Structure 1
């Protein structure tokens, strides 16, 4: 369950060490262990800056410019994050929610990126076609994204992005979505506002339901649905 007023969940991604690093916090976990780890890291950084052991924040302009230059050269944000050794969410924030300042080590990590664009991202990234289709089919049935997100241990915003624009995802995310889909695709959704809202969004986006796919086509990027999308009434 998310904390009041927050999209963070109490659940860490299944492939990360719960509460032992800041990775889970970066993935949206808001449990006590992950919050404590994150706060302790920030307190240590503040002490190091105060005692001169570490430089303070620096202007983010050079870092953002570097990321944009790499994008212009054909890099994806996930590839840039992997090369810099940072979280993908942090790299995306530099473009979509740009900060005024960043930490010096963050700037150094991005400015140090050299070489040819990688052929594909690492981090266990796999094609997200089947994951995207499964999420769209669940929405078509009337499952709201906030409930789907809770079932796979992600934030609602990230789940919605995964259903609409993602081209790649981690193997753990793929497996979590597939497991939830196998559990829910044949179960009726109770009538209500949330169901109708999810279905209307699915219709507006031209998504199709579970019967449009089978086990041999849903993960195939070249396959086409056997049943077309619903028409707007």
Structure 2
């Protein structure tokens, strides 16, 4: 059974159709990357999965329950955690204090402050520092750690490499690889195609709110992905679920 199942999802910003009738399934333990140019609808889709932007129509089922109109704070309690674009940390709180906010979900699981610090070792030396004084890579690690503290069944990661240095991106993706090996189910929105292809089991390319290409990440040819990314030529689904 799919961990999350989306059917005919339509999400709008006023009159703008940001997500247009998208359907997909994600299995437990799978890593799926959504790619596409700016304005493709990727962030809106993730916010809809997290309950931060309720859809106009369609459905979202999580762990067999219909959560289509369930608000974000209740989805966190059910096991969906979003690491938003821009991190949205509390700058005047310490690293530790920011991460402890994840306990508000009241979910039991293997993720504790100690285990998160082991997964994100770059945070150990700065655990008492204020979030506003951290580097971009450290802030991104805190945002991931805060989400892990909710003990999610599904982790949504939105543009986690955006604005980071190559060295910081390496550290963030090293942490993601640890989560994948631990069996975490991940939905990743990423504009860096090389990073997305390297970690994802499956890749879904969006264009103007619609899915234009879907397939196993390692089986898709780079030209297929780039053509779909920019809306060039014909696109197709390749080995999708």
TM-score by length of 1: 0.24
* Greater Cα radius of gyration, structure 1 or 2: 1
* Higher relative contact order, structure no. (Cα contacts within 8 Å, ≥ 6 residues apart): 2
TM-score by length of 2: 0.23
